[in-house]
Structure 1
Amino acid sequence: MTTPIEQRIITGQLWEEYCDTLKRAGQQLLRPETPHTTFDQAEGMRYLSRLVRAGLEMMVEGADADFPTFVIPSHETIKIGADNPDNLYQTARINGRNEYRIRGSRGTVPTLNFATKKGGYEKAGSKLEGTGLLSTQEMQVNADGSFEILVSAQRPASGNWLPMEETSHMLLVRQTFHDRRKEKAAEFSIERVGHGGAPAPLDPARFAASLMAAGHYTENTARLFCDWAALFKQEHHNTIPLGNQAMFQAAGGDPNIAYHHGYWEFGEDEAMVIDAVVPPCEFWNFQVDNYWMESLDYRHHRIHVNSHGARYNPDGSVTIVIAHRDPGHPNWLTTAGHALGTSLFRVIGAGSATAKIATRLVKLSDIPHMPKEQCA
């Protein structure tokens, strides 16, 4: 006699249920406040296809917490929740009741941190809350650049320790580059402590749960960031304020980062000028995103600038210009064919100090005539 799960697989019901979640995800594109141009809707469909790929990689291919492996959930062609163009993101599936060991080589990337998380976008509420954090400054690294980290609920007597809780299920690594051309990423692997052998053949019941988790991930991620974009459109229109940090961190944000999310929309003959005074910090960057909160194509367009590559004003402030065409400003960022979108100014490691960010719309033709201190 077959079990209910076996029956769902044999009859094809499981696949239909998975496809139904993707169909529901598509409804997020049609919300009244979303842009309904052919361009934006096509880009939205591409965005959903990217979420499908990410969900399958993480929830199906990388779902085994006994034999974890690092997956890259967001990169040049999978973009989620204002992904950082200066970051390399990696995740691994873990189980808070186990212990894990990470071994690797530090590399030269300036910022490297490891975090454990509970919740997940595949679950109702789309929370991804932190249960442990280990940053570069706290890590012990050997003279040859090698390191080990124990991931566990109980603190070890010595060595690098990444805490987690019994409900922890994800390990998230952020590597932040100042200049990808010159810096080397850290390299590492993960294994469950005391668990050898090889993975068992595919378990149909576990696969069924993983496939549905992937579907819910696509649906819930699309809903979450459409909710955010709608909020920014209403409350952050052509501004970049310091928003609700608790909301951002509950969705997986780094507690060392201050997130300034914005929404922009202006005409072909206009530009947005951003004047920022950034406090002493480890790093900052600013990026232009589309409505779906994807970073624009940074492989082929200049859509972001960071503390390493920006041109500063004589007083230490920075002026950034977003425009549809190059106005001749050294910190110009393109909209890459978009008429509207979201944006993010992030500041890492500033403590309680906050950036002062002002925005204004000007005529594109006025940019070359801006005061020199704003074009230095």
Structure 2
Amino acid sequence: MAEAYGTGAEAGLDPASGPGPDHAAWQAFCDALKAAGDRILESDFPTAPEDRAEGFRHLAQQAVCWLTWGVGHLDPQDPRFMRQNDLLTRWGGPNVDNVYKHARIDDDGVYRIRGLMHSCEEFLLALRIGNMHQEKYGTLHEVTATDLGIGPGDAFELVLGGPEPAAEDPAVRWIPLPPGTRMVAIREYYYDWRETEPAVFTIERLDTRDPVSAPPPPRLSPVRMAEQLHEARSQFERSITYWNDYQRAARARGDDNTFIQPRTEPKGLKGLVYGFCFYRLAPGEALVVECEAPVARYWSYQLYQLGWFEPVESIHRTGGLNHRQTAVDPDGRVRVVVAHADPGSANWLDTEGRPEGMLTFRCAWSDNRPEPTARVVRLDELPGVLGPDGAGGTVAPARRAAHIAARRANAAWRFRT
């Protein structure tokens, strides 16, 4: 990938000679949009009218996501954090308890990240080759705020790359850049979903671009614009089919309504394990999920759409519950109920009425590895199956409404501009 801005002369361009590489790249991106709209109508994608409507929304949002990344965040000489997997740019099964930020970097560079944690309780910083849907991807190094001694409310400064400092400065944490690093990815964790200030992160390059004396970059060239559009198209095209194939392959590893037990994803983050259960529920049925209580810094159960791998509504409904939001039963076990209608249980995951979908169990930085089980029961059987205290006990409608109102208020703060 070219790291310097071109002028167009190297490609023999004449401003008066007609369309250049930027025009061709733009046409290719538009062709990719049209082809994706046809592709999601094929039989290996969800076929219900509501699913397809969500599919076209997904395509529009993916176009926004990857145009922003390719056109606005391609230069490791002058990096900026891009917020991804927010309420608009969801892809790849994002965790609803996270805010994601990505920035382009070089493995031979030196970068400084500064920030304020505010209400953020944890972050995970990963140095990566690329995104999971790319031909080359993988995590080369990961570290958490806890590892670095950073907690809620703290200010921090991190230096990525360059030689290890001879003397330790308690105010600055140094993180090496492994060969092959092309991006830094940060996941912020919010457990309580309170109406409070989220974290702030900034990034700048130190070794080649003095923020005071460096001249501004030259004007954008046709060649550089073509590179940016090519990157956006490549990411867009791969993301559309990759995650549908990923879900279909995962579903084929087991039976519906049965858990595929937790594991660390290949080339993924070492501190996180994931378990999957693809549910299929008729009206009047519920899926009861049970496991021993995880001994972990973080864990959660979350529902996802098929095909697009986006979260089921988790702001105006309870499509996901984490360890702070889930009640542990008196016997020390965790039980949640996946159902189309409110069963009156505190630990209810709302399917939005979707007859089938994907349930993900996440467990991070844990001392044990629970293995969830699942079984289908009729809604009218739930009281006898759970008893008076199962699945977190019963919850009154007013309390449920207050919980949803708190989720909406938190999202307004966490994803504000």
Give TM-score scaled by structure 2 length.
Answer: 0.81
- Of the candidates 239, 244, 249, which is equivalent to residue 226 of structure 1? 244
- Of the candidates 136, 140, 146, which is equivalent to residue 155 of structure 2? 146
CA shift in 2, pair 1:338/1:199, >3 Å? farther
Amino acid of the residue matched to residue 293 of structure 1?
F
Which residue is equivalent to 1:20?
31
Amino acid of the residue matched to residue 159 of structure 2?
L
| Whole-angstrom CA distance in 2 between matches of 1:63 and 1:28 | 27
- Of the candidates 294, 298, 307, which is equivalent to residue 279 of structure 1? 294
Which residue is equivalent to 1:171?
184
- Of the candidates 188, 204, 208, which is equivalent to residue 226 of structure 2? 208
Deviation, 1:261, is 2.3
**After the TM superposition, which of the residue ranges 181-190 and 77-86 deviates more from structure 2?**
181-190
Matched, 1:3 2:11: yes
- Of the candidates 54, 57, 62, which is equivalent to residue 46 of structure 1? 57
| Kept after mapping to 2: 8 A contact 1:265/1:341 | yes
Q: Cα RMSD (Å) of the superposition?
A: 2.5
| Whole-angstrom CA distance in 2 between matches of 1:358 and 1:189 | 42
**After the TM superposition, which of the residue ranges 286-295 and 359-368 deviates more from structure 2?**
359-368
* Displacement over 4 Å in runs of 4+: 4-8, 140-144
| Kept after mapping to 1: 8 A contact 2:263/2:273 | no
In structure 2, the residue corresponding to 1:60 is in which secondary structure?
helix
| Kept after mapping to 2: 8 A contact 1:114/1:162 | no
- Of the candidates 350, 360, 366, which is equivalent to residue 381 of structure 2? 366
- Of the candidates 237, 245, 254, which is equivalent to residue 264 of structure 2? 245
1:78-89 matches, cutoff 5 A: 78-89=89-100
| Kept after mapping to 1: 8 A contact 2:303/2:349 | yes
Amino acid of the residue matched to residue 251 of structure 2?
K
In structure 2, the residue corresponding to 1:283 is in which secondary structure?
strand
Deviation, 1:369, is 3.1
Which residue is equivalent to 2:400?
none
| Whole-angstrom CA distance in 2 between matches of 1:268 and 1:349 | 37
| Kept after mapping to 2: 8 A contact 1:278/1:356 | no
| Kept after mapping to 1: 8 A contact 2:91/2:310 | yes
Amino acid of the residue matched to residue 65 of structure 2?
A
| Whole-angstrom CA distance in 1 between matches of 2:11 and 2:95 | 44
Deviation, 1:97, is 1.9
Which residues of structure 2 form unaligned runs of 5+?
1-8, 394-417
| Kept after mapping to 1: 8 A contact 2:253/2:260 | no
CA shift in 2, pair 1:325/1:261, >3 Å? same
Matched, 1:326 2:326: no
Which residues of structure 1 form unaligned runs of 5+?
none
Which residue is equivalent to 1:129?
138
Matched, 1:357 2:372: yes
Counting aligned pairs with the same residue, the percent is: 26
| Whole-angstrom CA distance in 1 between matches of 2:232 and 2:92 | 17
1:81-135 Cα offsets, whole Å, 9 max, x none, are 1111110111111121211011122324221121111133574x2x431122221
CA shift in 2, pair 1:281/1:140, >3 Å? closer
Deviation, 1:11, is 8.2
Deviation, 1:232, is 2.9
| Whole-angstrom CA distance in 2 between matches of 1:122 and 1:142 | 32
CA shift in 2, pair 1:330/1:153, >3 Å? same
Deviation, 1:172, is 0.5
Matched, 1:312 2:328: yes
Question: Alignment length, in residue pairs?
Answer: 369
Which residue is equivalent to 1:70?
81
Deviation, 1:188, is 2.1
Which residue is equivalent to 2:40?
29
In structure 1, the residue corresponding to 2:85 is in which secondary structure?
coil
| Kept after mapping to 1: 8 A contact 2:120/2:152 | no
**After the TM superposition, which of the residue ranges 92-101 and 11-20 deviates more from structure 2?**
11-20
In structure 2, the residue corresponding to 1:119 is in which secondary structure?
coil
Larger Cα-atom Rg: 2
| Whole-angstrom CA distance in 1 between matches of 2:150 and 2:283 | 51
Deviation, 1:362, is 0.9
